A and B are shown apart, each in its own frame.
Chain A
Amino acid sequence: MSRRRHGSRPAIWLLALLSLGSPTMAAGADAVRLGVRVIYASNQGQHIDPGLASVERQLRSSFRYSSYRRLDSHELVRSIGQQGTIPLPGGRTLLLAPQGVSGGSVVLLVSIQGGGRAPFNSELKLANGGTILVGGPAHEAGVLILAITATTP
């Protein structure tokens, strides 16, 4: 028995050391971190912002546009049931409201309002740390694409 204890002691220390950096210690259990990148996609030029590297492959494989510019970037933390508001170009507003966390996924209400149109409303369940793209509203010579990411502790 004593030999087993001695043998596993370094591994225990290592795990304890690694756990010090765990993000679960830094945020509340009911908080959801929401990230939104507002992207302007068009066929004017050949350009993609370096800040869109994490979604570049998805953008190029899903859409036909030659240029992707990041107009804005937002990050907010909201509790379950708490709403967040993000202004969009063209007098639109994006509303986000996490409704709960289930099985490692975030249930999220997404709404785009304004711009002289009836609101777009959706409820979706997004894997923790995952991103969904909501696009299509016209903007200048192209369209807006919203990359929405939800992360729980």
Chain B
Amino acid sequence: MQAHDGQLPGRHTAAVETHLAGCRECRDYLGTARSASVWLRSAAAGAAPAFSDVWRGVASRLPGSMSPAPWRIAWQIPAWPFQWGWLAAGSLAVALLLLLVNPYARLLHAPSHEATVAFVEASDYPVMVMMPSQPDEMTVIWLFEPQDLSPLPPT
């Protein structure tokens, strides 16, 4: 095959040709090899697929989202920080609005009525200080009228 392809020096090529003239088996082999070589060369020259166009064809059949916006390609900045930032801010704003318009928002703004009575001075009134058991309850300072102790708070 090397002689056929011109890859051997001239003297070796002549020796091969001399041998082929007297050897039928080698001539048959060479004929088969030549046919295969011709077919391979023709295939490599003209019928090879255009691989550079393969991705273009595939991409054209994909959804449009596979084609990133030019500015993202140019700056190489992923979009998710923007999307997640606005999503978080939007969620927070919606939550605050719901709390403001929701009747249960009072719970958020409910002030603590916690109070400490440091001292009481009331020589003319019997005084009772009722401390709340819950933070949202109010402390009560009650001044009893000496002649009437009827409005006692419930026990």
Contacts and interface: CB of A to CB of B under 8 A. Distances in A.
Interface of A: 2-4, 6-11, 13-14, 18, 55, 58, 61-65, 105, 107, 112, 117-138, 143
Contact of B111 (A62, A129, A133, A135): A129
Interface stretch (B9-17, B29-37, B61-69, B135-143): B135-143
B113 A65 contact: no
B119 interface: yes
Interface of B: 77-78, 81-82, 84-86, 88-90, 92-93, 96, 111-125, 127, 130, 137-145, 148, 151-154
Nearest to A13: B89
Given A121-B121, A122-B121, A127 B151 contact: no
A131 B138 contact: yes
A91 to B, nearest CB: 14
Nearest to B90: A10
B81 A130 contact: no
Contacts of A129: 111-112
Contact of A14 (B81, B89, B112, B141): B89
- Top 5 nearest A-B pairs (CB, nearest first) are A129-B111, A136-B143, A7-B81, A10-B89, A7-B85
A17 B152 CA distance: 50
A130 B139 CA distance: 10
B106 to A, nearest CB: 9
Contacts of B115: 124-127, 130, 132
Nearest to A151: B111
Contacts of A135: 140-143
A123 B113 contact: no
B138 A64 contact: no
Given A11-B88, A122-B141, A127 B154 contact: no
A6 B115 CA distance: 46
A3 B77 contact: yes
A136 B82 contact: no
A124 B120 CA distance: 9
Contact of B96 (A8, A18, A128): A18
8 contacts: A6-B85, A11-B85, A105-B114, A126-B115, A130-B115, A131-B111, A132-B113, A135-B142
A140 to B, nearest CB: 13
Nearest to B118: A123
Contacts of A112: 143
Contacts of B86: 10
Contacts of B137: 58, 61
A120 B45 CA distance: 113
A53 to B, nearest CB: 11
